[in-house]
Amino acid sequence: MRWPRSLQSRLGVGVALTVGLTWLVATLCAAVVIRHELDEAYDSALQETAQRLLPLAVLDITDRDAAAGARQVSRFARHEEFMSYVVRSPEGEVLLRSHDADPSVFPRTPQLGFHSTGTHRIYGEGAVSGRVVIEIAEQMAHRREAVLEAAVALLVPLGLLLPLTLAGAWWLVRASLRPLRAFRAEMEARGAGNLAPLPLDGLPRETLAIGTAANRLIERLRQALEAERSFTANSAHELRTPVAAALAQTQRLIAELRDEVALRRARQVENSLLELARLCEKLLQLSRAEGGGVLAETPQRFGPVLAHVAHDVRRMHPYAGGLRLSVPEAETHGSRMDPDAFGILARNLIENALRHGDGRRPVDVVLTPSGVLRVINSGPVVDENTLATVLRRFQRGGSAADGAGLGLAIAERIASGAGARLTVRSPAAGRDDGFEAVLDLAPTGPRSLAG
Amino acid sequence: MRVLLIEDDVRLGEAVRDQVAADGHATDWVQTLDEARSGVRAAAYDLLLLDLMLPDGSGLAFLSELRRGGDATPVIVLTARDQVSERIAGLQAGADDYLVKPFSLQELSARIGSVSRRYGGNPNPIVRVGAIEADLAARAVYRGGKRVDLTGREWSLLEALVRRPTAILSKAQLEERLYAFGDEVESNTIEAHVSRLRKKLGHAAVQTVRGVGYRLGSG
């Protein structure tokens, strides 16, 4: 039998088994003691009976005609008889016997004192200088029955006690483990991004230390993630500001220069700085995507973030075909992706679609209430081999368009880090051309946003 | 317009200030929030360009402070942080627009024009008065369909009048819009700019309301 894994079952079964075994051992000990005491009492009664019967038997024998032979005491009212006796001469001649006495039970010649055969306990007592000996035999079965009945009387309550003990132990353990179960449920219910301390109210002293240690660990994790986020944000600031200053100074230089050669060089510097700025942005996004900051502590709604990103992209990347956006009023997916990480992801998908779209037809951006984001652009069908590599870093899908080849890789890293799934297909669903990126924010099914 | 630039990075601040000034706006540049607080108390600005990470505090907190105090001056946030949540927080705190560093100075000029038009109550960048047509977004002015070249100060003066075509603006109000703190302003500078504008756009383009100031004419 396998030992149950549940602590509640282990304690319940363990307590019940311990109580049952203890009771059983106690019953066995009691049976041994009872047997001993009963033997003493029965032996004493056997001896008393022999000593009381012997004078009577002697009188009966001496008053009787010697020639009359052995006499069998007549039977009185029928009753349960456990004892029989014989009165014999030292040579074994039966002088008197009880009405149910079986001579074969007794030894061939009389023996004094107690002795036992397989079936009887026998006591012998002599009189008239040993010429008359009475032997009383008692059935051993009678004694065994008495001990058995006493043992059964002790064992019967155990039959009732065992299930009661099991139920009581079960209930007690269950009640005692209630705070532990609540603790477990809290841990199970929270998502990977929820780093709030676990409630320790009511936890038993034995497990309080585990809860405290878990909370200490969560706090350290939260601080580490916070430090990482802060580092990423500060790095972004430290990197962007000098690039911004260099770009702005260069653009002022271009505005003030009159010499054509110098102007051309200044424009080359400006283009290099713009390229550097784009690459910096992508590398900062990639570092964010590969860090631990892609999960929020609570479920998020992404419609407003998507609308904001779309507004921003429309302004920064004018696109002749236009950008069609559809966001739901309510969301039911329960994804805990960090909103900023989602913003980076969505921006990369949209920028990718604008960059590679054919420019005459709109890019469609659709977010469903169940958390599926589709970004679809028109354009030539991308072959399967290329499709298989576009989610890797520095892969530009064979396109001649600008870009570092990092956008889709960043989106894929964020998606997998937050438990979402990003897939790409070409042609787009329901079309015979184009490219479609599908982000499923809750691939394992929706959860409540209140969780 | 009179613009207050709050930016602690010297090289970036210098370039932005020069760009905004080249667009014809009077630009004061400060590098701390303390100086910014003193600035908004001392002068009526038409626009604030606000960096979010400043040595003596958060630009966002300063913005919230302004809005709580009832100050509705348009604000464009300049931020080196690209998180969407921070941008949304900035807009919710009362920013009118934001630019993520590094940004193009042309983009900055366009945003300044867009925000100021929105605040002027006329989001349409094309304003026509008589024979004069001013494109506030393109910073271009036409007279009878022909483009007229203006200097930065002349454009700024015209823009101030065009934005409030029926209002009379005093000489002091125009000086405040055209010149930053510390600029040398001679007593007849505004008259000189008005005179040059009249030469380029026609005498009736700017009307003098004696003893009060100037207003837009019909060209």
- Which residue in chain B is spatially nearest to A229 when comparing CA positions? B83
Count residue pairs from A and B with Cβ separation < 8 A.
81
What are the strands, taking DSSP E only, across A63-150?
Answer: 71-72, 83-88, 94-97, 113-116, 120-127, 132-139
The residue with greater pLDDT, A318 or A66, is A318
Most confident residue range from A129-143, A170-184, A246-260, A393-407? A246-260
Tell me which chain B residues have a C-beta less than 8 angstroms from the C-beta of A251.
15, 19, 104-106
Give me A321's structure tokens.
């075909």
CB atoms A245 and B105 under 8 Å: no
Report the predicted TM-score, pTM, of the whole model to 2 decimal places. 0.61
Using alpha carbons only, give the angle A86, A87, A92 rounded to the nearest 5 degrees. Answer: 95
Q: For residue A337, what is the DSSP state?
A: B
Q: What is the mean pLDDT of residues A374-402?
A: 75
Structural domains in chain A, sorted by start = 7-169 (3.30.450), 189-293 (1.10.287), 294-451 (3.30.565.10)
- Distance in angstroms (rounded) separating the CA atoms of residues A202 and A292: 32
Q: Give A249 to chain B, closest Cα distance, Å.
A: 5
Residue A66 has pLDDT above 70, yes or no: no
Instruction: Determine which of A168-177, B57-66, B181-190 has the lowest per-residue pLDDT on average.
Output: B181-190
Residue to test with chain A: of B18, B58, B82, B111, most A Cβ within 10 A: B82
Instruction: Determine which of A61-70, A253-262, B24-33, B53-62 has the lowest per-residue pLDDT on average.
Output: A61-70
Q: Which residue has the tokens 């059935």?
A: A139
Of B16, B53, B81, the CB nearest to A248: B16
CB atoms A233 and B83 under 8 Å: yes
Model ipTM value: 0.73
Phi, psi of A120 (to 5 degrees): -135, 155
The predicted pLDDT at position B29 comes to 95
A245 touches chain B (CB under 8 A): yes
Q: Give B182 to chain A, closest Cα distance, Å.
A: 22
C-alpha distances out from residue A124 to A277, B1, B36, Å:
121, 138, 126
Give per-residue pLDDT as tens, A431-443: 888 999 999 988 7
- Distance in angstroms (rounded) separating the CA atoms of residues A338 and A333: 14
A244 touches chain B (CB under 8 A): yes
Residue B158 has pLDDT above 90, yes or no: no
Using a CB–CB cut-off of 8 Å, the residues of B that contact A are 9, 11-12, 14-16, 18-19, 22, 53, 80-88, 100-106
Residue A345 has pLDDT above 80, yes or no: yes
The predicted pLDDT at position B8 comes to 94
Average pLDDT in chain A = 83
Give per-residue pLDDT as tens, A395-405: 555 555 555 57
Using alpha carbons only, give the angle A176, A177, A179 rounded to the nearest 5 degrees. Answer: 100
Q: For residue A115, what is the DSSP state?
A: E
| Contacts (Cβ under 8 Å, ≥6 apart) of A170 | A8, A12
Of B81, B105, B106, the CB nearest to A233: B81
Tell me which chain B residues have a C-beta less than 8 angstroms from the C-beta of A226.
none
Q: For residue B166, what is the DSSP state?
A: T
Q: Domain boundaries in chain B?
A: 2-119, 126-216
CB atoms A340 and B85 under 8 Å: yes
CB atoms B101 and A255 under 8 Å: no
Tell me which chain B residues have a C-beta less than 8 angstroms from the C-beta of A233.
81, 83
Give per-residue pLDDT as tens, A411-434: 999 998 888 899 999 898 888 889
Q: Give A226 to chain B, closest Cα distance, Å.
A: 15
Q: What is the mean pLDDT of residues B206-211?
A: 86
Q: Give B212 to chain A, closest Cα distance, Å.
A: 38
A308 touches chain B (CB under 8 A): yes
What are the strands, taking DSSP E only, across A66-118?
Answer: 71-72, 83-88, 94-97, 113-116
- Tell me yes or no: is domain B126-216 CATH 1.10.10.10: yes
- Distance in angstroms (rounded) separating the CA atoms of residues B14 and A245: 9
State which CATH number among 3.40.50.2300, 3.60.21.10, 3.30.420.130, 3.30.1280.10 fits the domain covering B2-119: 3.40.50.2300
